[in-house]
Amino acid sequence: MSVNGQSAPGPKEPTRAATPPAAKGTGTPAAGSGTDLAAGAAAGPAASQLPQVRRAVIVGGNRIPFARTGGAYTKSSNQDMLTAALDGLIARFGLQDERIGEVAAGAVLKHSRDFNLTREAVLGSALSAETPAYDLQQACATGLETVLGLANKIKLGQIDSAIAGGVDSASDAPIAVSEGLREVLLDLNRAKTLPQRLQVLSRLRPKDLTPDAPNTGEPRTGLSMGEHQALTTAQWKITREAQDELAFNSHRNLAAAYDAGFFDDLLTPYRGLTRDSNLRADTSLEKLATLKPVFGKSLGSAATMTAGNSTPLTDGASTVLLASEEWADAHDLPKLATVVDGEAAAVDFVHGKDGLLMAPAFAVPRLLARNGLSLEDIDFFEIHEAFAGTVLSTLAAWEDEEFGRTRLGLDGAFGSIDRTRLNVHGSSLAAGHPFAATGGRIVASLAKMLHAKDRVDGRPARGLISICAAGGQGVVAILEAH
């Protein structure tokens, strides 16, 4: 596993700088693959041949407070939490017995019995039982991907309303039997006679009885997400101080948002919890500085990632109500923001070409180029804080001339962002990160912020969401004030 995956030009290195996109569309196919920005931009003119699409608006959202694993929601299942988040949304917007076009949600840590998790949650909620639902899973990008997929259906006129969401419980995580025991049990079921059964049972070994618990390790590298990020953090020379400062701002901003009542119409308490239990309103840079590194210890003095600047395992659920403008109007519901566009990217972290969580560094430039935008055109940045190092590595990559030229195919650095626009009401370091629920948390909060900001220089306020995910993936999106 190499730490300098970014520096080695890959086989798909673009040969020229990206040309400005010719059309601003919402459905332009992202041609090419991997990190090829030029190919995506070149496909721009095809947009004019796309059918007319209508707007998909964000009406609002609801989530339950996020709880540190082993805390308030220890005994709550994914279905319990998703149902609670749905019911809060239904209560806020008066959706009782409403047949919603479609509900999509998912969980990263999922029991096999929960194959129809979202539909079961719908059936347990106050929605009409005639509301269809499906499960989706794209690791930590699950929540954002449900928003994008459902928004696209609304844009195409396939549905008029939708609820996107996500839920995760690391407390109530599935534990599977070992592969050995599983094979024996399945063969036992197929065996017809007593001698056959005994023969199958004789294959059982004591080690087969050890259960198979889930872990956050990447199957292809065996490294945990934190260890992966530690390599990336070190590669981009992100300091401990910078990470601690980002974590401190996250706690401070989230606490201020709670105090200002920002979450009064975004959150419904659950199981006695009224705020995210990971939030430390009284934390300080000094306190954060005392924590010992927990990831990248093999790096010695370069180890900078602590429990303070990494997100803890968290339980929680979130939902977002999406609609066509007509549906929202007919139901006298607010229209906070529109879902403009989204983009997914993936990196080859397995061979060390890029860091595990660096896909958004490629997805964002592609998305902005397709929409004829630059970083200066964004009023709010919501960059998911898987680790403080993830956010800072991504920003460092964008500010890096070499990265811009060789990996993004630009003339120079992609650019830097105005830090005062970054995660202004806190993010995952403070709120916690129940994997699939993070997308919904961010979309609903950003939509509310954009609605409040309304317009900037005569155009709708604009926000960018960036979420990294396991498997070297990333999903990003642009929202605009309605």
Partner 1 sequence: MTDKYTQFVSRAPGRDIARKLGLPQPVVLRRHKPGQPLITEPVLVQGTGTGADELAATLLAWDLDVRRHAVPKEKLGAIILVLDELARPEDLARPVLTAATSLRDLAPNARVITVSRAASDSADPAAAAARQGVDGLVRSLAKELRAGATANGILLAGGAGTTSPSTLGALRFFLSGRSAFVDGQFLTVSSAEGQLPADAEKPLAGKVAVVTGAARGIGAAIARTLRRDGATVVVVDIPAAGDHLAAVANEVHGTALQLDITREDAGERIIEHAVERHGRLDIVIHNAGITRDKLLANMDQSRWDSVIAVNIAAQLRINEALLASEHFRNSPRIVSVASTSGIAGNRGQTNYAASKGGVMGMVRATAPLLGVHGGSINAVAPGFIETEMTAKIPFATREIARRLNSLQQGGKPGDVAEAIVFLASDAAGGVSGEVLRVCGQNLVGA
Q: Is-contact 280 251, C-beta < 8 A?
A: yes
Closer to partner 1 by Cβ: residue 40 or 60 = 60
In the residue annotation, 384 being an active-site residue is answered as: no
Burial 141-159 (b: 16+ CB within 10 A, else e): bbbbbbbbbbbbbbbeeeb
Quote the Cα angle for 55-57-60, to 5°.
Answer: 175
Query: Among the options 384, 433, 451, 482, which is catalytic?
Result: 433
The span from the first CA to the last CA of the chain, in angstroms, equals 45
| Helical axes 225-235 vs 388-399, angle rounded to 10° | 40
Tokens of 237: 């020379």
Helix (H) / strand (E) element for 240: namely helix 240-259
Closer to partner 1 by Cβ: residue 27 or 269 = 269
Smallest distance, partner 1 to C-beta of residue 97, A: 7
- Alpha-carbon distance of 81 to 121, in angstroms, equals 9
> Is 262 in a helix, a strand, or coil?
coil
Q: How far is CA 244 from the centre of its chain?
A: 22
Q: Where are the alpha helices (DSSP H) in 375-416?
A: 388-399, 401-406
Counting Cα atoms < 13 Å in the Cβ hemisphere of 256 gives 11
- Alpha-carbon distance of 65 to 73, in angstroms, equals 10
In the residue annotation, 228 being an active-site residue is answered as: no
DSSP-derived secondary structure letter, 306:
E
Tokens of 416: 């830097």
Smallest distance, partner 1 to C-beta of residue 48, A: 38
Closer to partner 1 by Cβ: residue 39 or 317 = 317
- Alpha-carbon distance of 123 to 142, in angstroms, equals 21
Which residues bind to partner 1, rule: CB under 8 A? 84, 87-88, 90-94, 96-97, 126, 261, 263-265, 267-270, 274, 332-334
A 10 A CB-CB count for 52 gives 7
Closer to partner 1 by Cβ: residue 253 or 268 = 268
Closer to partner 1 by Cβ: residue 72 or 173 = 72
Closer to partner 1 by Cβ: residue 94 or 412 = 94
Query: Among the options 140, 228, 251, 384, which is catalytic?
Result: 140
The residue assigned the tokens 């595990």 is 356
Smallest distance, partner 1 to C-beta of residue 312, A: 23
Smallest distance, partner 1 to C-beta of residue 64, A: 8
Length of the chain, in residues: 482
Closer to partner 1 by Cβ: residue 129 or 201 = 129
DSSP-derived secondary structure letter, 355:
-
Smallest distance, partner 1 to C-beta of residue 270, A: 6
Smallest distance, partner 1 to C-beta of residue 193, A: 55
In the residue annotation, 468 being an active-site residue is answered as: yes
Smallest distance, partner 1 to C-beta of residue 437, A: 17
Four-CA torsion 230, 235, 238, 244, nearest 10 degrees: 0
**What are the catalytic residues?**
140, 433, 468
